[in-house]
Structure 1
Amino acid sequence: MPNSFNPNNLGVVFLKLVWESLRFAMQALKSNLTRTILSLLGVTVGIFSIIAVFTLVDSLEKNIKSSFTFLGSNVITVNRFQFVGGPDYPWWKYFRRPYNTYSEYLFLKDKLRNAEAVSFSASANTIVQAGSNSYKGTNLTGVTYTYQDVYDLPLQSGRFFTEMEINSSRNVAIIGTKIANTLFPSGNVLGKEMKIKGAKFTIIGIFEEEGEGLFEIASKDMAAMIPYGSFTKLYYVGKNGIEPDIAIKGRDDDIGMVAVENELIGALRAKRGLKPTEEENFALNKSEFIMNTIGSIFDVISAAGWVIGGFSILVGGFGIANIMFVSVKERTNIIGIQKSLGAKNYFILFQFLFEAVFLSLIGGVAGILIVFSLTFIQLGSLELILSFKNIVLGLGISSAIGIVSGIVPATLAARLDPVEAIRA
């Protein structure tokens, strides 16, 4: 049957369309290179603007969030204040809230059934010394034995505290790589002694190097850790002193930590003797609060990137449309010949539409390559990474620009009368 549908013809037609469109696109580039480059410049600048902003935002967001890894994942901390407060957050109201106590930690550790682990800690900035060397700005933290069960504490060398060392408040310490390199330039740190406020501490471990971040205060490279009992010998913890933290790690099967949070609220209210009509005199903070706030900030920045790049893309779209209108005008005679030889309207339509997409993709790829070249620039602790998602996004936007810009010229070309077109 001569009129029967042959699916193989679709593949042949498609390949023919692609080849013809690519060939004509290359001819358009060669015939007037300056005009074409200037027209594609808008697409290149637009794609560069959007993808550059997204790449910067993604890299910056990743860097900032990694700086807050010390908060842990799936962790709730009990504090007097909220990490993130809204515009109506009466921070002044909570100064009279009680500090966390060690007895509350022991109570929660015994009562919470939905918690993976509960820890107690307190921190202070101090100076550590070894011989004539010293390191200022050390983030010293006193911890309980369960601290390692709540937070990830990878060690480069050495070990964590034993339960006996914690319970007997021995003067042992784990330090960061920056402190180790400063105090002991020659190496061989383990087993050496350093002084904290005049007290000698034996170094039993070194934290794994984290590198510099945007928030260096959170880096373990500049941190030192000692047993909580040893910490209380050096600093006053509690009211009018250093504020301690209680941290609770939820179970992996407790989505959103709903169960452990409800259990924690009930247990802590009971421990503090709060009546049902009284509001909580504590704040529960999750690392997700900060992460969500950071994400919302960068969502606004991303929206600004769309606006900035959108104007350039609009100009680029007009440039592609201009090229296509000129191309239709120059090839009117060829269109008439193709139609007289049996070319269908859809063939002419897709031929010009594909050509517009190809031209737009050339501009888009140029913009993406410029962004990729920027990732090799050293920006200190900020590492720019062009993700596969952003590459696909750039190519997708370029294709959309080509389709929108080429649809009108392609439609006009498809509707040309073959007789009139041949006479042109």
Structure 2
Amino acid sequence: MVYLRLIYESFVFAMQALKSNLLRTILSLLGVTVGIFAIISVFTIVDSLERSIRQSMSFVGERIMYVERYPWIFSDGSNIPWWKFAQRPPATVREYKYLYENLENAEGVAIVARRGGNTFKHQNNSMSGIMLQGVSMDFNKVAEVPIEEGRYFTQQEVDGSRNVIIIGAEVAENLFPHSNPLGGDIRIRGQKFTVIGIMEKQGAGLFEGMPTNDKNAYVPYGAFGKMFASGPRGIQPVLMIKGKAEDAGLQNLEYEVKGKMRTIRGLKPYEEDNFAVNRSEMMADAISDMFGIIGFAGAIIGGFSILIGGFGIANIMFVSVKERTNIIGIQKSLGAKNFFILFQFLFESVFLSLIGGGVGILLVSLITFIPMGSLEIILTPGNILLGLGVSVVIGVLSGIIPAVIAAHLDPVIAIRSK
């Protein structure tokens, strides 16, 4: 009950301080408002950007390992010249089958070949700029193929290199505007393919040109080979391997893949790898590091504003102690303990800081209603709690010295003050 009374009295005194000099209080709290707005808006926008980029790059997948010629990040200290990477042999179907049959730490293994900028035709309709991918049977175990209508490939279709195709939503809308695409024919480079599946609509990504399932299409790997040459002088396929959830960091899978690839390529112990093993986590870590730096810079900028706001609240509290010195003396003469006076001013400081922080968070929430194209800004509960938490800390730091001074006033001297 004592603490509840303290909170209530602090609320009353804070409201009186607000009403007694409204302009002074607003100007003093403006620093906290601007600081909280700066920090939380930066964190909110950074979180939204990171979320949107991760969604746009969902094609990379989770727990997936890519075996190809070039590493994604040249930071292993090997100092290998670029022309040596260009001389590396591409992945082959033979290597895919070997890994498929021998890997123990993989949930799925697939071989994928890609070619962009394709033109699809159906009767009098055509569409350009489509990404066509030739995939093996277990591709849907490695990567997500969200089929809304129809089905995935059968083993017979993949083994027989049949001309069947799964298309994206935008491809279906453009080529079949007035009919159901399932069972329809699409011509690609003179080859006729039958539509067996339509993928869910994904929508535009954050960046223009980012791969999306809407302008994507899948065919069996053998059918892809009928249209495009593969190998060193043609399209170079990539081996995709999905690791198991219990394999933390995919370390076991990486060691196993490197060992199997060295074995099938006949590399001797003293010879360096002539392939690169890339993990999807590399890109995710790079994105997290980049946005971590941006968020840290934004927090420093907002911190200066909060610091100014803290000085403003401290100024209000010093003035409040001066104005209520006589009341403090009366309270102490009637038996009020030091901690009662201390908490009274401390709660008042925290309350004033929370007002400024709450207004800052309210301003951030208004940003979420501003349309920004494909970027959806979301104020998360975590950022709201962070803003309120920072406000409480600023209130405590700003009010602790005035509260201590008030708590240690001599009651006789305080009562005589004017």
TM bracket, shorter-chain basis:
over 0.9
SS at structure 1 position matched to 2:126: strand
2:234 matches 1:244: no
Report what 1:96 is aligned to: 87
In terms of mean alpha carbon deviation, does 91-100 or 317-326 score higher?
91-100
What is the letter of the counterpart of residue 62 of structure 2? S
Identical-pair percentage: 55
Of 49, 57, 61, the match for 2:50: 61
Distance apart, 1:87 and its partner CA: 8.8
Q: Is the 8 A contact 1:123 1:139 kept in 2?
A: yes
Q: Output the CA distance in 2 between the equivalents of 1:61 and 1:27.
A: 44
Distance apart, 1:113 and its partner CA: 1.9
Q: Is the 8 A contact 1:81 1:91 kept in 2?
A: no
The 5 A counterparts of 1:179-190 are 179-190=171-182
Of 82, 98, 107, the match for 1:116: 107
Report what 1:13 is aligned to: 2
Spell out, residue by residue over 1:118-150, the C-alpha distance to the aligned partner (whole angstroms, 9 max, x if none).
111100011112223222211100011111111
Spell out, residue by residue over 1:170-229, the C-alpha distance to the aligned partner (whole angstroms, 9 max, x if none).
111111111111111124111111111121111111111111112453211110111111
Q: Output the CA distance in 2 between the equivalents of 1:187 and 1:314.
A: 63
Distance apart, 1:260 and its partner CA: 1.8
SS at structure 2 position matched to 1:284: strand
2:303 matches 1:310: yes
Q: Output the CA distance in 1 between the equivalents of 2:400 and 2:344.
A: 11
Distance apart, 1:84 and its partner CA: 2.3
Structure-1-length-normalised TM-score: 0.95
Seen in structure 2, the aligned counterparts of structure 1 residues 136 and 155 have a Cα distance that, compared at 3 Å, is same
Report what 1:365 is aligned to: 358
Q: Output the CA distance in 2 between the equivalents of 1:252 and 1:336.
A: 66
Of 371, 375, 378, the match for 1:382: 375
The 5 A counterparts of 1:277-356 are 277-356=270-349
What is the letter of the counterpart of residue 106 of structure 1? K
Q: Output the CA distance in 1 between the equivalents of 2:81 and 2:139.
A: 28
Q: Is the 8 A contact 1:158 1:190 kept in 2?
A: yes
Of 202, 216, 224, the match for 2:217: 224
In terms of mean alpha carbon deviation, does 259-268 or 346-355 score higher?
259-268
Distance apart, 1:377 and its partner CA: 1.2
Q: Structure 1: which 4+ aligned runs deviate by more than 6 Å?
A: none
Q: Output the CA distance in 1 between the equivalents of 2:315 and 2:248.
A: 54
The 5 A counterparts of 1:117-196 are 117-125=108-116, 126-196=118-188
What is the letter of the counterpart of residue 69 of structure 2? R
Distance apart, 1:332 and its partner CA: 0.9
Q: Is the 8 A contact 1:42 1:319 kept in 2?
A: yes
RMSD: 1.2
What is the letter of the counterpart of residue 166 of structure 1? V
Q: Is the 8 A contact 1:139 1:217 kept in 2?
A: no
Aligned residue pairs: how many?
413
SS at structure 2 position matched to 1:217: coil
Q: Is the 8 A contact 1:57 1:301 kept in 2?
A: yes
Structure-2-length-normalised TM-score: 0.96
SS at structure 1 position matched to 2:110: strand
Seen in structure 2, the aligned counterparts of structure 1 residues 366 and 155 have a Cα distance that, compared at 3 Å, is same
Spell out, residue by residue over 1:239-265, the C-alpha distance to the aligned partner (whole angstroms, 9 max, x if none).
121110101111222222222221111
In terms of mean alpha carbon deviation, does 411-420 or 43-52 score higher?
411-420
In terms of mean alpha carbon deviation, does 333-342 or 258-267 score higher?
258-267
What is the letter of the counterpart of residue 122 of structure 1? A
What is the letter of the counterpart of residue 398 of structure 2? S
What is the letter of the counterpart of residue 242 of structure 1? I
